[in-house]
């Protein structure tokens, strides 16, 4: 703990180094920071109460157009002194410090600590190091929770040339406490390039801290323990990131027996065989030999066909595509759940459960809606955590199924279309009537149409928002997997 104090403009003051305050110009031009007089009245008055934070003067780089500045901040006391380096904009660094991850002393009580881990790390032929279960784990069992040792804002990779960003990426690791530094450096890097960059690229996860912000800010983060998990297209474990505590949690997705390797999926598992194997080869350099990727050709073709149908069904249910018969939605949702099961895709199945809950609620079948909402919460908690969209939505349905937005939704939509048809018939009947007589009738009807238009518009907007939300979620997942 350096006793540093953080300023809103991204600079830092150090009680242990009483005359160091970063200046933007020097940071930008030289990649390092000169000292200013800490005792200046002006500077003292800009001090916030973010005392005892950054362990080193922030090092900054400025984008070509000169508008964006990104700085490296290292915090040594973070998460029970594991430490963290963060490469981001000064305003986001200030926002991060306001998270419970930094303000709540209890945020990391059972994090980064493994007194009796349910696995052993072993060297595995053709797969480097992997983690092998040393006892039976049941669905939902916690495996480990860790905080990142490094967080890099994603824009940095597109905004800056390697030569500009790499010195800061190296400094990010060098400035960490020794334990975190050594764990990062011991990681596997498959590209064979600069180890700071290689270990980062091979092991980073994409996460979002403020998903509701207008400008999405994604970070790439590395947790050295979780990085030892090898890939399987039908994995037995999954992770989610809690943005409040900056903690990555891993749980078992199904029963795992002693001697089995713990695995996660590096990519979206609901993709065709060739798409999966190409992505894994390109981004992680290995030929996937999981049972799904090495199935005999007829089985692999059947799997691809199931995945194609799964995706088509999921898209149409998410978009609330019109149905000839409102009851068809539940059949489609049941098939979707079954396709996930046939494909052994255990984590994202929560999305199918949640769609099934909507479809049953939409035709007023409360018991079936509740059954699927329960299943969605059970698997959603492992897949996306307690704040995951499906979990939150399904908890709302469970609290009061008849008050949920999806309750009798298909039937309401059916009634709306019937009314529209009737109105169209009335319009046709009225055509040809006397203009003078027609006027007040039309005026009234226009009024009615105006109202209906508003309601219909609101319903359509709700649907569009919902499908946009789902699309963004899929996009986020795809980015996550990358
Ligand atoms: C995030 S690391 C996983 C841990 C790694 N095995 C280690 O030794 O640290 C990713 C790298 O592990 C290897 N790997 C992961 N899953 C694999 C799999 N299913 N088959 C072969 N190699 C795999 C690849 O070399 C990949 O680039």
Distance (Å) from CA 241 to ligand 1 centroid: 21
Q: In this structure, are strands 263-264 and 230-231 parallel, antiparallel, or unpaired? A: parallel
Distance (Å) from CA 258 to ligand 1 centroid: 20
Q: From the centroid of its chain, how far is CA 217?
A: 11
> Where along the chain do its domains lie?
4-39+46-109+145-227, 281-482
Residue 16 in tokens = 């242990």
What is the Cα–Cα distance from 85 to 113, expressed in whole angstroms?
19
Ligand 1: residue of 206, 284, 292 to mutate (most ligand atoms within 8 A of CB) is 284
Q: In this structure, are strands 119-124 and 59-62 parallel, antiparallel, or unpaired? A: unpaired
pLDDT (tens, 9 = 90+) of the chain, 482 residues, equals 222 222 222 222 222 232 233 334 343 333 343 333 323 333 333 333 333 578 888 899 987 777 789 999 999 999 999 999 999 999 999 999 999 999 999 999 989 988 899 999 999 999 999 999 999 999 999 999 999 999 999 999 998 999 999 999 999 999 999 999 999 999 999 888 899 999 999 999 999 999 888 887 899 999 999 999 999 999 999 999 999 999 999 999 999 999 999 999 999 999 999 999 999 999 999 999 999 999 999 999 999 999 999 999 999 999 988 888 878 999 999 999 999 999 999 999 999 999 999 999 999 999 999 999 999 999 999 999 999 999 999 999 999 999 999 999 887 776 666 666 566 656 655 544 333 222 223 333 333 333 333 233 333 344 445 555 555 665 666 566 55
Are 170 and 184 spatial neighbours (Cβ–Cβ below 8 Å)? no
For residue 417, give the nearest of 324, 327, 329 by alpha carbon.
324
Query: Over the stretch 426-435, which tens digit does the pLDDT of each residue have?
Result: 665 554 433 3
Whole-structure pTM over 0.80, yes or no?
A: no
Full DSSP string of 77-115: SHHHHT-EEEEE-HHHHHHHTTSHHHH-TTTTTTSS--S
Give the closest residue (by CA) to ligand 1 atom 21. Answer: 127
Query: Over the stretch 357-398, which tens digit does the pLDDT of each residue have?
Result: 999 999 999 999 999 999 999 999 999 999 999 999 999 999
Distance (Å) from CA 210 to ligand 1 centroid: 30
Helix/strand/coil for 421: helix
234 touches ligand 1 (CB under 6 Å)? no
Atom of ligand 1 at shortest range from CA of 227: 1
Residues 365, 370, 375, 379, Cα dihedral to 10°: 120
Distance (Å) from CA 201 to ligand 1 centroid: 13
Other Cβ atoms less than 10 A from the Cβ of 467: the count is 16
Query: Environment class of residue 367 by beta-carbon count within 10 Å: exposed (0-12), middle (13-18) or buried (19+)?
Result: exposed
Ligand 1: residue of 231, 263, 277 to mutate (most ligand atoms within 8 A of CB) is 231
477 touches ligand 1 (CB under 6 Å)? no
3 φ/ψ sector (left φ>0, alpha ψ -120 to 50, else beta): left
Atom of ligand 1 at shortest range from CA of 130: 6
Helix/strand/coil for 75: strand
Query: Environment class of residue 198 by beta-carbon count within 10 Å: exposed (0-12), middle (13-18) or buried (19+)?
Result: middle
At a CB cut-off of 8 Å and minimum separation 6, what does 338 contact? none
CA angle 187, 189, 192 (to 5 degrees): 145
112 touches ligand 1 (CB under 6 Å)? no
Are 361 and 404 spatial neighbours (Cβ–Cβ below 8 Å)? yes
Atom of ligand 1 at shortest range from CA of 203: 1
236 touches ligand 1 (CB under 6 Å)? no
Atom of ligand 1 at shortest range from CA of 127: 22
Interhelix angle 349-362/328-342, nearest 10 degrees: 160
For residue 70, give the nearest of 6, 12, 148, 153 by alpha carbon.
153
DSSP class of residue 160 equals S
The ipTM assigned to this model is 0.99
Distance (Å) from CA 286 to ligand 1 centroid: 7
């Amino acid at each position: 703990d350096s006793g540093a104090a953080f300023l809103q403009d991204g600079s830092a003051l150090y009680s242990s180094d009483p005359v160091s305050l970063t200046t933007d110009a020097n940071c930008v031009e030289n990649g390092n920071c000169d000292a200013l007089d800490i005792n200046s009245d002006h500077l003292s008055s800009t001090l916030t109460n973010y005392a005892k934070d950054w362990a080193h003067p922030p090092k900054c780089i400025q984008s070509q157009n000169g508008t964006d500045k990104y700085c490296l901040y290292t915090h040594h006391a973070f998460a029970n002194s594991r430490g963290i380096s963060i490469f981001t904009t000064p305003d986001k660094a200030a926002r991060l410090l306001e998270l419970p991850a930094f303000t709540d002393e209890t945020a990391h009580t059972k994090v980064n600590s493994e007194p009796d881990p349910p696995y052993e790390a072993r060297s595995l032929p053709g797969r480097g190091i992997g983690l092998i279960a040393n006892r039976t784990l049941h669905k939902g069992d916690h495996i480990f929770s860790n905080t990142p040792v490094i967080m890099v804002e994603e824009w940095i990779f597109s905004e800056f040339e390697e030569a500009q960003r790499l010195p800061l990426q190296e400094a990010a690791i060098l400035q960490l406490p020794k334990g975190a530094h050594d764990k990062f450096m011991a990681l596997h890097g498959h590209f064979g390039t600069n180890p700071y960059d290689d270990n980062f690229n091979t092991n980073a996860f994409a996460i979002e801290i403020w998903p509701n912000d207008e400008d999405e800010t994604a970070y790439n983060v590395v947790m050295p323990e979780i990085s030892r998990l090898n890939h399987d297209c039908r994995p037995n474990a999954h992770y989610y990131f809690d943005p409040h505590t900056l903690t990555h949690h891993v749980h078992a997705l199904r029963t795992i027996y002693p001697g089995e390797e713990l695995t996660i999926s590096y990519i979206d598992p609901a993709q065709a065989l060739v798409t999966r194997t190409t992505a894994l080869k390109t981004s992680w350099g290995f030929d996937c030999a999981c049972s799904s990727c090495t199935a005999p050709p007829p089985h692999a073709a059947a799997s691809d066909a199931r995945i194609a149908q799964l995706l088509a069904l999921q898209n149409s249910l998410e978009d609330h595509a019109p149905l000839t018969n409102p009851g068809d939605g539940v059949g489609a949702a049941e098939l979707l759940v079954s396709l996930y099961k046939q494909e052994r895709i255990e984590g994202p199945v929560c999305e199918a459960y949640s769609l099934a809950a909507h479809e049953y609620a939409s035709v007023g079948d409360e018991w079936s809606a509740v059954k699927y909402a329960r299943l969605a919460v059970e698997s959603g908690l492992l897949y996306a955590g307690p704040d995951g969209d499906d979990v939150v939505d399904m908890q709302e349905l469970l609290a009061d199924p008849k008050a949920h937005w999806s309750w009798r939704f298909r039937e309401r939509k059916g009634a709306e279309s019937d009314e529209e048809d009737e109105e169209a018939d009335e319009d046709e009947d009225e055509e040809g009537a006397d203009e003078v007589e027609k006027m007040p009738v039309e005026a009234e009807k226009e009024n009615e149409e105006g109202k209906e238009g508003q309601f219909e518009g609101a319903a359509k907007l709700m649907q569009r928002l919902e499908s946009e939300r789902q699309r963004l979620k899929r996009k986020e997942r795809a980015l996550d997997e990358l």
